[in-house]
Structure 1
Amino acid sequence: MKILLFCCKGFEMLEFAPFYDVAGWAKSEYGYDIELEICGYEREVSSAFWGTQIKVDKLINEIDVSDYDALAIPGGDHNYGFFEEAYDERFLELIRKFNDRKKTIASVCVGALPIGKSGALAGRKGTTYHLCDAYRQKKLAGFGVTVINEPVVIDDNIITSYCQQTAPQVAFELLDRLIGEEKTNVIKSGMGYI
């Protein structure tokens, strides 16, 4: 099973790390069939706040959706240009391709907004950042999404969540869909979550 972890500039490290660590534990510690590749627009992507950079494995124009089983999208901070890349038509089209093939798409916080903008969540349930008068949830609703103010909302193949605190839960939910509950619980236990 292979996950594409897409990082737009200004991504949140706390939302990125659980996907990376959970997949890493599954593969390295337990030998499960999980691969993870990081993707972006440039070879290095800067995170929010302290400017930590990560190197990507693939650029967006190198991606063949058929090579992947799932797409993971950490949210980011608008002050660091997150939406400049998250709303880029190339990324929106990538989301549509994953959705058209019913592949799992998992997002944390405002990572749901490009899914909404792509049209993949139109007429479906989702959530996003819920604080500050729920202004991000109102934006998501503007894309035709039925917003549910809960920590994690799952509608068929799409997993959305409402803040950083939910990132591990989303990462485990994604893993569960790829390798099953029993193996996911082994990872949860090994990482101290159960």
Structure 2
Amino acid sequence: MAKIMMLLADGFEAVEASVFTDVLGWNEMEGGGGTELVTVGLRDRLKCTWNFTVIPEFTLGEVELAEFDALVIPGGFEEAGFYEDAYDPAFLDVIRHFDTHEKWIGTICVAALALGKAGILQGKRATTYNGVGSVRQAQLKDFGAQVQQDPIVVENHIITSHNPSTAFDVAFLVLEKLTNTENTKHVKKLMGFEK
């Protein structure tokens, strides 16, 4: 059983989190199984970018990082306070833990900036939000990343992506890395992404 932590920062985008809950949920109900997604936050109530309130299953102090096999992080908006949590030392320590143990890390959109702030993208290929004059990509470059223009970049055990439109692709890629290609195609077909 692969146990996946979805680490949520206040101000995250609900749609970027929901793709992981749905893809991994479909895998458990209709696919090959073998995955468990656990939601974790720095606080016991989180407000999404568009004011949707979420209660994570656990706060960070209630979990043992060693129990998890992968980390996924949805992005969010600065205006909603995303970087307050995403740049918090405790949040960054989680990222460093998964990187040190070379466990899969999957991010969507600006969540890649938390990886950069954690110092794990130095000299590595990565991407992040590609709109608004590529301000976020410039920030990622300042963290030492080799910014790519591909929608999704896989560098060793790290997955980064451009924007919310890549969310399902990242979720399916995480599923494939934790299970296999055949199972992922099966789940995609069940969800209507493949004929």
Q: Give TM class, smaller chain.
A: over 0.9
Secondary structure at the counterpart of residue 165 of structure 1: helix
C-alpha distance in 2 between matches for 1:180 and 1:75: 26
Secondary structure at the counterpart of residue 153 of structure 1: strand
The equivalent residue for 2:76 is 76
The equivalent residue for 1:21 is 22
C-alpha distance in 1 between matches for 2:177 and 2:108: 16
Secondary structure at the counterpart of residue 4 of structure 1: strand
Q: Tell me the alpha carbon deviations over residues 60-104 of structure 1, each in whole angstroms, 9 at most, x when there is no partner.
A: 122322111110000001001000000001011110000000000
Taking structure 2 as the reference length, the TM-score comes to 0.97
The equivalent residue for 1:30 is 31
Structure 1 stretches (4+) deviating beyond 3 angstroms?
A: none
Taking structure 1 as the reference length, the TM-score comes to 0.97
Percent of residue pairs bearing the same amino acid type: 38
C-alpha distance in 2 between matches for 1:7 and 1:187: 24
The one-letter amino acid of 2:79's match is N
C-alpha distance in 1 between matches for 2:123 and 2:64: 27
C-alpha distance in 1 between matches for 2:21 and 2:47: 16
Asked whether the 8 Å contact 2:10–2:47 carries over to 1, the reply is yes
The equivalent residue for 2:121 is 121
Query: Where does the alignment leave 5 or more consecutive residues of structure 1 unmatched?
Result: none
The equivalent residue for 2:152 is 152
C-alpha distance in 1 between matches for 2:60 and 2:141: 27
C-alpha distance in 2 between matches for 1:105 and 1:31: 21
Secondary structure at the counterpart of residue 15 of structure 1: helix
Query: Where does the alignment leave 5 or more consecutive residues of structure 2 unmatched?
Result: none
C-alpha distance in 1 between matches for 2:58 and 2:193: 31
Asked whether the 8 Å contact 2:32–2:183 carries over to 1, the reply is no
